Structure 1
């Protein structure tokens, strides 16, 4: 049986957005191949090895993994904005595995890709198949400042190019297409463009007991003052709740906006701060919701996987738009039960009335949603992406 190794950031049970997607694909592959996932520990109490479903998880710790300030400084002074200790952590575990046929680094973190590239230098027969969810050279958040990014750009593009050349092929999320075609055009035959693999009927199509008397609205995810500030969203929802009376907003979040959330939860007791929870618990809360909330970023360099997860639940979606170039706008316009709210609209009564009308008058047709997903988002199916990997695993060089 062939061995396929996935490299991720945090994984089960503390999934990152990327590993949440990757796990869906792994579950489709684990009965056809020997699958090993290598990832950093997120808690010192986590076992270094364990079996999850039918695949093995191998965890490691690395220097300064718990010191955010030190890690930030190391990224700033590294010409590629990378952590060498993290790269070596992956490499050490890769070298302990006797025979590997394919490595799939899940990006971000980009360190997974570099570790794979270095492993291939020692074993030319190894197939490297990066699955890139986030940008690297053009990721201003990773490089902390646009000036630093500009200074490093030549090095960043060179290391991207080296990775592409060493790869068997690359799975790239659609929003990366423009960058890779423009900057690395000569290797375009290696690119396979797909979507976040989160549309899985069996995983989400579960019955839930919803109290129809009250309407439960749920937000899960992060809030950050600079890129995803919740102030406007909470101001609007406070107004919506006051006009309706039977709406409850539950917020399961992390980030640096706890004071903002606390302020509005004190203003309105139906805005309930539930603090952060694990991805599994967040998923259960989304399943039991009537409506899901999305809040866009003030930058448009990424397409958060969250929106695909929301669509998978076949719920009504309220989406607050901060940037007119937000990539999620195009996606949600294809989905029949989403309402887009422009944060540039300062008329709170107008916005609130529109939201209340959407909540009261729009009913969800699950058959229609299934048809839309199958027609428009077929490349967001874990089976679709797993089949691509299977076909290539079985090809001879």
Structure 2
């Protein structure tokens, strides 16, 4: 088959969704299929030549909208600027304001329309057996759905859209219409299990196009994992590692940080990533050297940090249809996992319950709407005791990889890639 992937970007910092699809594409190429890619680029997302080298060909186009926005919004000054300061800046910079309005209220219509044009232009020059749009952002799937091309269309959907927590009552009707449009135009829509299971707002006919899959990040033995045995434990220090993005609204770190204020002094928390800077800075003053902030690092540095950790921390979202894909990376390491849940029906629980060395930590009076400030001292003390007991029991141990492969066979990238190929070839 000749498969065209339509991606948000193909940079070295491409994000979890594109990274997952890249691994699927690797399997498709190994199976003898031709995989092509259409993507955008801007000054923050140059094409990763190593990734591009795997594919048969990559076409890219420039996006000025993201350059204009990212030059400002990715700066430390903007991140720490007050809401009033941001409003003043927007009002005094009309081009920036126009781009912000387009992104927030029109879902980046300029980029969506450019994607549609680029898809149609490419199909005039070449033919493909299948075109696969990868979300997020959702406008990529919308662009493929609107493109007038003669091929089977597919979508790989790894984040909720209509049921996204950012959806308001005002925007829900418009989002639902777009999602229905995407489903109607697609032959199949591949959805992560916890996303696809939360789509009861769609008709039975459209749900018939849905194909659920598990997060495909478990690697086969010898493929990106070292099995040199258990971690050597320094009795003077126990390193806990968190890797990922933090968000005040859906992945707030305050519960995790409050728990650490109740843990022994030799428990060291390492943060790799970014977000929630004000909260993290507040607890840096409290925890001092026990909180080490590394910031954003390369994927290789991230992998090394996980390999050297005594305990890995998975900080979950406060919504039921989004899962940090980093959890499956953690599982792949075989290390002990501290799984911090903010809601009772957390989508991580079905994954983590099967893992031999993990513990779920959540407030006892959890009502699916945690307000961290209202958690009682007794509840915090109970959670801290659970963490300490788990750490003392499992620190330095490792789960053999053949055990992981057996438990999580539906999360092995090659198996998921083969399932998708089978669906596309029917």
- Partner SS for 2:377: coil
Question: Are residue 155 (structure 1) and residue 171 (structure 2) matched?
Answer: no
Matches within 5 A, 1:71-150: 71-78=99-106, 82-94=107-119, 95-96=121-122, 98-119=126-147, 122-124=148-150, 126-141=151-166, 143=167, 146=168, 150=169
Q: Which SS does the other structure have where 2:212 is aligned?
A: strand
Is 1:58 the counterpart of 2:91 in the alignment?
no
CA contact (8 A) 2:165 2:319 kept: no
8 A Cα contact 2:272 2:293, kept in partner:
yes
Q: What is aligned with 1:12?
A: 11
Map 1:277-316 onto structure 2 (within 5 A): 277-316=297-336
User: What does residue 362 of structure 1 align with?
Assistant: 394
Is contact 1:4-1:35 (8 Å) kept? yes
Q: CA deviation at 1:308?
A: 1.8
**How far 1:112 moved relative to its partner?**
1.4
Cα separation, 1, equivalents of 2:118 and 2:135: 18
1:111-165 per-position Cα deviation (integer Å, ceiling 9, x unaligned): 111121123xx223x1111011111111132x4xx2xxx2233332222222212
CA distance in 2, matches of 1:123, 1:240: 59
Q: Are 2:410 and 1:386 equivalent residues in the alignment?
A: no
Q: Secondary structure at the match of 1:302?
A: coil
Q: Provide the C-alpha distance between the structure 2 equivalents of 1:157 and 1:394, rounded to a whole number of angstroms.
A: 29
Does the alignment pair 1:36 with 2:36? Answer: yes
Match of residue 87 from structure 2: none
| SS of corresponding position for 1:13 | coil
Aligned-residue CA RMSD in angstroms? 2.6
Say yes or no: does 1:237 pair with 2:260: yes
Partner of 2:25: 26
CA distance in structure 1 between the partners assigned to 2:138 and 2:412 by the alignment:
24
Displacement of 1:365 in angstroms is 5.2
- Cα distance in 2, alignment partners of residues 63 and 140 from structure 1: 28
- C-alpha separation in 2, matches of 1:241 and 1:184: 53
Q: 2 CA distance for matches of 1:29 and 1:88?
A: 29
Counting only pairs closer than 5 Å after superposition, residues 260-275 of structure 1 correspond to structure 2 as 260-266=279-285, 267-275=287-295
Structure 1 position 283, deviation (Å): 2.5
SS of equivalent residue, structure 1 residue 239:
coil
SS at match of 2:323: coil
TM-score (norm 2): 0.80
Distance 1:204 1:14, change over 3 A: same
* Corresponding residue number in structure 2 for 1:350: 382
Aligned to 2:245: 222
Q: Using a 3 Å threshold, how does the CA distance of structure 1 residues 355 and 50 change in structure 2: closer, same or farther? A: closer
Distance of aligned partners of 1:295 and 1:112 in 2 relative to their CA distance in 1, 3 Å threshold: same
> Taking structure 1 as the reference length, what is the TM-score of the superposition?
0.85
In 1, Cα distance between equivalents of 2:98 and 2:216: 34
Gaps of 5+ in 2: 74-96, 364-374
CA distance in 1, matches of 2:356, 2:59: 41
Give the length in aligned residue pairs. 376
Contact 1:208 1:287 in 2 (8 A): no
On the 8 A contact 1:48/1:59 being kept in 2, the answer is no
CA distance in 2, matches of 1:297, 1:391: 32
Aligned match of 1:341: 361
Report the CA distance shift for 1:330/1:323 in structure 2 as closer, same or farther (over 3 A): same
Q: CA deviation at 1:325?
A: 2.4
Q: Which runs of 5+ in 1 are unaligned?
A: none
